Chain A
Amino acid sequence: MGQKLEHTPLHAEHEVLGARLVPYAGYEMPVQYSGIIDEHRATRSSVGIFDVSHMAEFRVFGLGAFDFLQGLLTNDLHRIDDLSAAQYTLMCDESGGIIDDLIVYHSGDLEYLIIANAANHETDFEWMKSHCPTDVELADESERTALIAVQGPNALEVIRDLAGPEFEVPDRFHIGAAGLDGVPALIARTGYTGEDGVEILCHADNAIAIWRLLLSFECVTPCGLGARDTLRLEMGYHLYGNDMDRSVDPVTAGLGWTIGKDKTGFVGAEAIVRIREVGPSRKLVGLTVEDGIPRHGCSVLHDGTEVGKVASGTFSPTLEIGIATAYVPVDVATEGTEFEIAIRKKLARAIVTRPPFVKKTSL
């Protein structure tokens, strides 16, 4: 309310491109340029680029960096002992509530780079700081860092073209340094669309140069947060704030796979063990809806009784039907179970469908 919205380093570019700008996580962000469906399809068939500079970047450095993060995050950090490796992981509180979902990159010796959700920027940093030992340096790099996602079946061709013949594109979930037409950047082979591609980290001052280099390719379409949301939901990827929050634990959220096998001693570990012993009472399921578009907050009914609410819901531009996620009791969470979703005045039939909703992508 009355709070001034932040701008990413690419804000003026979005205005020139005629983007529709909306407030998101304290930033004024492009929700679409030509249209969500257009941009969605461009990403699935060619290349979409997304300004996601609103996201937070933290650098963790020092002799104690490994132990610090191993004790704070759910995934086993040993899995990314190799330099340049990355992993998806969660940060939980003592009761197992999810504080945020993150990607951790083993960016250097004694150094890790973390990408976090914009909406959790302050919360994450304060939480990490409060747990940070004296032999670790924790730096918030968000202000000077821009992040551009380049996603789609032809994304790697664009990167190869810009980085030159010497550059070897990192393996999936790895990161490497490159010069994009001479502009220094980190190239992370990660994304949130279900397509192959990379996320480019660069200094804020170089963001416009890289954005324009990318747009100089005919196959590249600028995409907003609208398409980013439909793309991620077609894959069943979780969105913090919709599909999980502090009131949900990783097991219930269907993210048990992010907990290191036999890993103990991290914040939330004991609570998660207890939840696993008892078994979660609810589960996040995928739903497909032929007749209507489910939205966040819509009631989900089973045999006429409300059993949950839609967590994420949208129109799938690929399947041309409604798709959603919802927390429902485990006994009705099996594939094929029928629900009804109250879409305003109507009840639409919804069927439990195991994500990803879209099976065939370039990934």
Chain B
Amino acid sequence: MYPKDLKYDKEHEWVRVEGDIAVMGITQFAQDQLGEVVYVDLPAAGDEVVAGETFGEIESVKSVSELFSPVSGEIVAVNDALDDTPETVNASPYNDGWMIKVKLSDTSGLDGLMSAEDYEAFVNEA
């Protein structure tokens, strides 16, 4: 459900850090709560994201949610495939359903994120 090599935030995003690049998406819990995703609105490569601020929106048949960035930096890649197949977020939230890759401007923010265990406990509490 919650891979051990990822970091998680309270807005139900995950981050995979590869060197100074952070890949992010939404968690299994988040996609399940949303239901079938029909629309993912992401920024463009080159845009800046700021930790704790919104960078896009995700919409299911029933509801729309904002996407919050757990980290700060410059977007270096966007998963454009989600334009045509947004349901990939449901099918593969941690792999093919990734959303953006960010070149970290500052890695200190990563310390505030949760481990898989902590996130699971957080979700079970909710």
Contacts and interface: CB of A to CB of B under 8 A. Distances in A.
Interface of A: 20, 31-32, 35-38, 226, 230, 292-293, 295, 314-315, 317, 320, 344
Interface of B: 35-36, 38-39, 57, 59-62, 64
Secondary structure of the B side of the interface? strand
B64 A226 contact: no
Contacts of A320: 38
A179 B60 CA distance: 40
A271 B43 CA distance: 52
A347 to B, nearest CB: 14
Contacts of B39: 292-293, 315
Given A293-B38, A293-B39, A315-B38, A36 B61 contact: yes
Given A32-B35, A293-B59, A314-B61, 7 more contacts: A35-B35, A36-B36, A226-B61, A226-B62, A315-B59, A317-B61, A344-B57
A37 B91 CA distance: 14
Contacts of A317: 61
A31 B35 CA distance: 11
A109 B83 CA distance: 58
Residue with the greatest number of chain A CB neighbours at <10 A, chosen from B57, B60, B61: B61
B110 to A, nearest CB: 29
Contacts of A293: 38-39, 59, 64
B62 A37 contact: no
A295 B61 contact: no
B38 to A, nearest CB: 5
